[in-house]
Amino acid sequence: MISEKVISVSPAFSLKLRLKDYVQFIKLRLNLLVIFSTALGFLIANPHNINWFNLLVVSLGGFLTVGAANGINQIIERDSDRLMLRTENRPLAQNRMSMLEATIAALIMGIIGVGMIAHYLVGMCAILSLVSLCLYGFVYTPLKKVTPLAVHIGAIPGALPAVIGYVAANGSLDGMAWILFFIQVLWQFPHFYSIAWILDDDYKRAGIKLMPLFAMKDKRGAIQIMLFTSLLIPMSVLAFILGFTGLIATIVLVALSGYFFYQSLQLLKDLTNASAKKLMFGSFLYLPVAFIIILIDKIF
């Protein structure tokens, strides 16, 4: 007689696995980086008179809204995710989470997130949050398989978190909010393109088009990356000309942007994954450092 072994899973272990799936579903690390940008935008707006409750609301509401957008992204891309090495283990791709559960979770997070912001903060914050959610989830995500212009569309919701944080503290859009917006818009091109360069084979397997327009891993692509990166230098100077940053902060910002530009020139020079990886890590460093420089300038 053959005995059957029954493998039991403890409730605690099962809960741990579900939490792990939701960490992937909302892309926790990316989400936290976005909220960090939101918080910096909030602090830059009024560093000497911080409303901590409003900061908590915009951070928590933003966290839920971004989680919803990331969830929608994975719902739409579940089949593509199965084809890529970096995403094949996501919960929807592996059928560890049903479409119904994912849809309900994204819907709840989106409603609560935008609802919190609408209830406690100025209406502009809620509008920008909803626009960001819809553009990322329902426009940028499906366009990734249609045209490289998806990156241009995705740059808009990607640049809105700092603006949402700024408006939450300031109450309205002004020139400094637009400076933060355009810095983050320009930053996203070398950021996304360097990632697309490194993961080109993975993206091709899934039919995702994120390389620069009319280009591959070639000089045409590297030139576009270099041009977008170079624009961060005059944008740093423009903030000074318009009176939003002081001289010392501007010099540091120009130096930071100059080094970022140098990294893009290295990619143009050798067209290697190694240079693209350095540019990618440079992008991770650039944005938080640039915003922290602006914040320090506002404080002192």
Mean per-residue pLDDT over the chain, rounded: 95
* Predicted confidence (pLDDT) at residue 1 exceeds the cutoff of 60: no
Torsion sign, CA atoms 83, 87, 89, 92: negative
pLDDT at 9: 56
Question: What is the helix (H) or strand (E) element at residue 286, kind and residue range?
Answer: helix 273-299
Q: How confident is the model at residue 8 (pLDDT cuts 50, 70, 90)?
A: low
Q: What average pLDDT does the segment 14-31 reach? A: 94
Categorize the per-residue pLDDT at 14 as very low, low, confident or very high, splitting at 50, 70 and 90. confident
pLDDT of residue 274: 98
Residues in the chain: 300
Find out whether 285 and 257 touch, Cβ atoms under 8 Å. no
Residue pLDDT, tens place only, 136-166: 999 999 999 999 999 999 999 999 999 999 9
Task: Give the residue extent of every domain in the chain.
Answer: 20-172, 174-300
Q: What is the pLDDT of residues 186-245, one digit of tens each?
A: 999 999 999 999 999 999 999 999 999 999 999 999 999 999 999 999 999 999 999 999
The predicted pLDDT at position 6 comes to 44
What's the CA gap between 300 and 292, in Å, rounded? Answer: 12
pLDDT at 10 exceeding the cut of 70:
no
Q: Which stretch of 10-19, 216-225, 252-261 has the lowest confidence by average pLDDT?
A: 10-19
Radius of gyration of the chain (CA): 21
Percent residues over pLDDT 90 in the chain: 94
Hey, what are 75's tokens?
């719902």
Residue 7 clears pLDDT 50, i.e. is over it: no
Contacts of 18 (CB under 8 A, 6+ apart): none
pLDDT exceeds 50 at position 48? yes
Report which residue type is found at 165. G
Structure tokens at 207: 């039919």
SS3 content of the chain, % helix, strand, coil (to 5): 75, 0, 25
- Which of the residue ranges 10-14, 67-71, 111-115, 180-184 would you say has the lowest mean pLDDT? 10-14
Q: Over 9-62, what HEC string results? A: CCHHHHHHHHHHHHHHHCCHHHHHHHHHHHHHHHHHHCCCCCCHHHHHHHHHHH
Say which CATH topology domain 20-172 has.
Tetracycline Repressor; domain 2 (1.10.357)
**Cα–Cα distance list, 176 to 89, 94, 182, 185, 228 (Å):** 41, 44, 10, 14, 20
Neighbouring residues of 181: CB distance < 8 A, sequence distance ≥ 6: 159, 160, 162, 163
Is the CB of residue 297 less than 8 Å from the CB of residue 245?
Answer: yes
CB contact at 8 A, 64 and 129: no
Provide the Cα torsion 46, 50, 54, 57; round to 10°.
100
